[in-house]
Chains A and B, each alone.
Chain A
């Protein structure tokens, strides 16, 4: 076939009807903020060229990323090449599905064949993998266009921080504040309109924390639902990979692509993957929603509590049944358990680096933490694992009478004092149950910072989470707001 022109690609659209979600025309300035759902419908109908969309994203990165700092590496040439290939394939009638021709980014812990993968540490500054992480391979196989590798604190340690190989990202809602972390670049890029979709990693809340702070949607799926093959490790038994997007529907579509068994990851589950988008229209009438008891909100910011109360009212109005949940007693020390399991496993992963490259660590606490973690004994580690197993069993029993359990995404807005007794975050890494956050409103003091709502469920029941999240999203307008930077 001779070389395809933009006009050739788009000309086919005149004969095709627009889908409900697609717009009749989209000013190019809006392209970076198209949802995956909208962009996929336009591309499928050949009313939007993957090259045009990718170029619009790259132009916006050029214009704004010096301020946001979401990217470690922008894969401009590879992205445009992949976009042209997608365009050609679609023109030939080989449409692969909703990810075809869609720009995506991945946290810079995801191995990318031939493209450096730094985990934002001087230790891995020159590391160029010779294979793609399974997640990256699946996104590419679905026709996605890799636009770049996204920021994180050094080795994904901590929720934010400087001192790695590159400066950390900034929060597009207030550039003087943290975007949260450790999937900081993924959340910041989505909020700033620098990507259509992204992935992140979550060991201690690292998808849900930045998704909350940046006003986007982040899902930590059930442990084993998404392959960890080719992801720089913090802790094998606590690490999760998940989708990050601007809408709930986009998130479900992205999980459809990356979820599933992986022969190269023994911890991945063989359970079949449902079509998560089918749950989106279920609604919440009759849904059994668990909420924490009031005493567990000690230390929470008043704006968070106000927004959370309003969110619960939305669920009541939509016909859900709310009831307070008695968390197991072990929930009070699950963060301690998570700390010991995480740091002991991290110390084992870092053993070769400590032996040969110890002087190359950045100016962060990572070397200190993993060196000290190396001194934890096997018996101490296994005792933490036993308490973790006990907690998981007890939480499973507590969840029996519920469909979902909802909490605030974070106890306070970005950059505000956090001294909550129970943050409801690491517990879902420890037990491996799925948990998603989505926008829940904005703070008033300080003004205009995003707040998040977390929805957790039983293992492998991401569908019910998506049903509950979509119902809330449809009833509110928080997800439609853009940061002041968006007009830039």
Chain B
């Protein structure tokens, strides 16, 4: 999928915020854009890790 433009990302942010119950003004969306792009870049890298279908999201630490 081609990367989203800043305008598309801002539109997406406003919509996601709305369904999350978060009031984000246009000014806030503008300010938050850089952070959201940083999160998306990290998510993209994480998505590239192959995981088996059995992979679980939580572990409990044990003493050897």
Contacts and interface: CB of A to CB of B under 8 A. Distances in A.
Interface of A: 222-224, 269, 271, 330, 333, 336-337, 339-340, 343, 354-355, 358, 365, 368-369, 371-376, 380, 382-390, 392-393, 432-433, 458-461
B64 interface: yes
A271 B63 contact: yes
Interface residues of B, number: 34
Contacts of B39: 339-340, 343, 372-373, 375-376
Interface in B8-61: 13, 16-17, 20-24, 28, 31-36, 38-39, 41-43, 45-47, 49, 51, 55-59, 61
Given A365-B35, A375-B36, 7 more contacts: A222-B61, A339-B42, A387-B46, A389-B58, A459-B62, A459-B63, A460-B61
B28 A371 contact: yes
Contacts of A343: 39
Contact of B49 (A333, A340, A432): A333
Interface of A is mostly: helix
A433 B55 CA distance: 21
A236 B38 CA distance: 22
A432 B62 CA distance: 11
21 contacts: A333-B49, A336-B43, A336-B45, A336-B46, A339-B38, A339-B42, A358-B23, A368-B31, A368-B34, A371-B28, A371-B35, A372-B39, A375-B17, A375-B20, A375-B39, A380-B46, A383-B46, A385-B58, A386-B51, A392-B59, A433-B61
A169 B41 CA distance: 32
A459 B45 contact: no
Contacts of B28: 371
Contact of B22 (A223, A374, A382): A374
Given A374-B22, A375-B13, A384-B46, A368 B61 contact: no
B46 A368 contact: no
A360 to B, nearest CB: 14
Contact of B51 (A333, A390, A461): A390
Contacts of A337: 42, 46
B64 A385 contact: no
A358 B31 CA distance: 14
A352 to B, nearest CB: 11
Contacts of A333: 45-46, 49
A372 B56 contact: no
Contacts of B31: 368
Contacts of B62: 459
A375 B57 CA distance: 20
B49 A387 contact: yes
Nearest to B55: A386
